[in-house]
Structure 1
Amino acid sequence: MAEAEPRPKRSKPLNRDRVIAAAAALATAEGLSSLTMRSLAADLGVKPMSLYNHIGGKEDLLDGMVDFVFAQIDRPDPKGPWRSELRARSVSVRAVLARHPWALTLMDSRSSPGPATMAHHDAVAGVLLNSGFTPAMATRAYTVIDAYLYGFVLQEAAIPDADPEVGLSMGAAAEAYPYLTALAEGHLLQPGYAFADDFDPGLDLVLDAVEALLK
């Protein structure tokens, strides 16, 4: 009796979560501008029209991708101490955005936020309101923290690696830009300097300012 031929392996079933995860991975690997329904379908090995069985279109896809990112951020405990909870949350946001740099420009721009996004914002508001912040104070605190956080992440991603030749070029500019030169030679060009090292001290300054709202 002839041996039966092995059945071909079935590909992993397509669903909304898989489509969104693949879109996020594609945006991370090749940039958000490279993400199209056609490129996503090719990456998944399916026809473009099959994607519409799981997402409503490009805008729905972007909404889902943002929610995918928010789901990875450590959510603060609304009943916990606000400073430690929001500090841990800020560190988590920075780490997640480092993995998904394309997400920064989308996170607060979507008009149809998903459940993970809403739950995250609700938890941040909750920890502030439960700690004695008025709604107005909580709004200001949230705005200030995220302005620092998103700004740092954006600048960190844009700063090139240190170039030893910069030190030589600064020498020629010392007379024209004495204060900038003093800053560079006294700190920025010192061995071991890293822009990333300023994140924690800067975050503490921001949290000190937020704490002053309660006084």
Structure 2
Amino acid sequence: MRALADDLGVEAMSLYHHLRGKEALLDGLVERLMAEVAEATSDLPAGEEWRDGVRRRCLAAREVMERHPWGPAVLLTRTSVPPSVFAHFEAVLAAMIEAGFSYHLGHRALHALGSMVLGFVQELFAPGAEGDEDASADELAAMAHALPHVTAMVAAELHAADGDVLGWCDSRAEFEFTLDLLLDGLEAQRVAQSP
């Protein structure tokens, strides 16, 4: 709060007249971020095939996240889900239900899509993250020996991921590949559940 007050040229205590504290500020940032996602998805065509609609919604959310690369980290720190996030998931689920998904399959679909609906993917691990710089050459060599394929993949992807905004391997191409793979699989499940 002090850093924000300094940036705004005011006393830190004056911010508390407008905000309850840092958590309220972060909640407000999430609400603003999701308002931008809602605006980006508000003009999506109605009545299109469910897969295209869900894909467009995920990609529109991703464009917002690319403009605000701090967004995924802030979203993941919230201890409760803001109503605006629920509203976004409601629109995705509605497209699926209208296309013939059961609520059971829709529930599984939302789990499978995870944060992709919000335009990003959660990193399982992030090479180069805080603390990694402390790894010694011997520790890195031991890791390469014990995990040769993981080490080779990370080395290849770190090189190929230059300039990624949302994470070391969260490139748009990778995001779209995973999204399409999931949507294709969900379509097969939707067809299989039909009487």
Common topology (TM > 0.5)? yes
Alignment of 1:87-166 (within 5 A): 87-107=55-75, 109-111=78-80, 113-114=82-83, 116-147=84-115, 153-155=121-123, 158=126
1:52 paired residue among 9, 16, 24:
16
Of 44, 51, 54 in structure 2, the residue corresponding to residue 83 of structure 1 is 51
Per-residue deviation, 1:151: 10
**Superposed displacement of residue 199, structure 1:** 3.0
C-alpha distance after superposition, 1:164-185 (max 9, x if no partner): xxxxxxxxxxxx79x849x87x
CA contact (8 A) 1:97 1:103 kept: yes
Q: Distance in 1 between matches of 2:177 and 2:118?
A: 16
Residue 14 (structure 1) aligns with:
none
Rounded to whole Å, the distance in 2 between the matches of 1:92 and 1:61 is 25
CA deviations over 1:136-158 (Å, ceiling 9, x no partner): 21121112112567796444995
Q: Figure out how many residues of one structure are paired with residues of the other and give that number.
A: 161
1:161-200 matches, cutoff 5 A: 180=149, 188=156, 196=171, 197-200=173-176
Match of 2:177 among 182, 192, 201: 201
Contact 1:148 1:206 in 2 (8 A): no
Q: Call closer, same or farther: CA 1:47–1:79 in 2, change over 3 Å.
A: farther
- In the alignment, residue 199 of structure 1 is paired with which amino acid? F
Bigger RCO (CA 8 Å, 6+ sep) = 2
2:5 is aligned with 1:41: yes
TM-score normalised over the length of structure 2: 0.62
Question: For 1:55 and 1:158, how far apart are their aligned partners in 2?
Answer: 33
Please give the TM-score of this superposition, normalised by the length of structure 1.
0.57
Distance (whole Å) between structure 2 residues aligned to residue 208 and residue 214 of structure 1 = 10
* Unmatched segments (≥5 aa) in structure 2: 129-144, 162-168
Q: Are the equivalent residues in 1 in contact too, given 2:101–2:190 (CA < 8 A)?
A: yes
- 2:134 aligned partner: none
Sequence identity (%) = 35
- Cα 1:118–1:54, aligned 2, differ >3 Å: closer, same or farther? farther
Q: 1:121 to 1:150 in 2, by over 3 A?
A: closer
Gaps of 5+ in 1: 1-36, 161-175
Contact 1:38 1:48 in 2 (8 A): yes
CA contact (8 A) 1:63 1:112 kept: no
Question: C-alpha root-mean-square deviation of aligned residues, in Å?
Answer: 3.8
